[in-house]
Amino acid sequence: MVIVSDMLYISAILPARLARYKVMLNKAATNPPCEQPLASTSTTSRTNEVTATGFTNEPSLEMKREMALQLSRETGMLPVWSEKCLSDQDWNMDRARQVFQEKRGMIPPEAFAVQL
């Protein structure tokens, strides 16, 4: 690392500068670095989107449906309950599985599919 300047300038943000900053963040979000990430804590892929406040890691609607169906198959819960579990855990599949195991006895019977 090389220090180029030790002076800090603070100024109000102008709309044009904010727009350039959003473009830069969107480019960074869509062009990941060449290095591989260390370890992923989730088994799902997420899309990065830049908002006025920063990055969000919200999966697409299709991905949410797939995740809910997968959790439903694994747990026996109805898809609507699986979706709620995932939503409560910010769409982190690993965390949703963990919370399901921890709170299995507290989940009402109507959350589960009827076994014939």
- Could you tell me if 72 and 82 are in contact, meaning their C-beta atoms sit under 8 angstroms apart? yes
In the three-class reduction of DSSP (H, G, I as helix; E, B as strand; rest coil), residue 16 is classed as helix
- How many CB atoms sit inside 10 A of residue 67's CB? 21
Determine phi and psi for 34, rounding to 5 degrees: -70, -25
3-class secondary structure per residue, 80-108: HHHHHHHHHCCCCHHHHHHHHHHHHHHCC
| pTM score of the predicted model | 0.51
Enumerate domains of the chain plus CATH numbers: 14-31+44-58 (no CATH), 61-111 (1.10.8.10)
- Full pLDDT tens readout for the chain, 116 residues: 676 666 766 777 788 887 887 887 777 777 655 544 434 444 444 444 555 545 556 788 899 999 999 999 999 999 999 999 999 998 999 999 999 999 988 988 888 877 54
pLDDT in the model for residue 11 = 72
